[in-house]
Structure 1
Amino acid sequence: MLKYSTYRSIYKETPRVDPIENRFSSVRMISSLFMTKAFRQANLIKVLMILMLVVSGFTVVGNVFASSIAQVKHQEKIVVVERGDTLWSIALKNKPSDMRTVVYIEGIKQYSGLENSSIQAGDILSLPIY
């Protein structure tokens, strides 16, 4: 057996690193990045702007989804069903101009506690006011 050898591998040898030491070295590297003056001065403004955009984006999205619920004023109009009336005709007369008739009919059914679309003359309906 040879005591000394001149053998060199053609493959790169990766040094074995203790996982705990490797974890701490990456923490040191990241903390040194954040502690440089260049990062603190130049990139701090960029990071704050991105953070502000993200927060305002969530605010806008929240307002968009909340606005459909906030439109209802919890007021209602009482209508007595006459002969020949249908939910469709009642909805066409009373719905806002920018609302689909089908959506308003669902609101009428919900406010009036109707399980289906059948109504009869003399029924009292509660119409939502948007």
Structure 2
Amino acid sequence: MLTPNVCSCILKTEQTFGVCIMIMSPSFYRTIHKKQEIKSAIWNGLAARWLRQHTVKIIVSFAVFILLFTSFLMMGTDASGNLPAEASLNEQVVTVHTGDTLWAIAKKYADGKDDIRYIIYSIKDRNGLQSADIKPGQKLIIPAV
């Protein structure tokens, strides 16, 4: 028996318990798969064309992102370039050694009447230090007291 959409309906009662099985023509399956192949080829072509048109924009955007990311990372490090001005004639430059503290350095360059806390404050202020942490090899400018 043929249905209006060109399917044949074959009734096999002993195998399907009276259920009608629709068998479509094999050419119909081929057209479905060809349409899928055509659709995928069209999408692949569109994606390739879009990528060709926007490659430069993508590369430039990525480079700008990397540049901004690294500049934000470097803001809080010593690489940001916050160096104090050169030492004047009446100032001394000291290289920090292992075990040195600001207190010991200030005490070394203080005469007996100066408050060491004020000298530490002036050393920190002159060198742009946020805290009393100093590293071996770091150069400190000792202002004239």
Bucket of the pairwise TM-score, normalised by the shorter protein: 0.3 to 0.5
Tell me which protein shows more strand as a share of its residues. Answer: 2
Bigger Rg, structure 1 or 2: 2
TM-score (ref. length: structure 1):
0.41
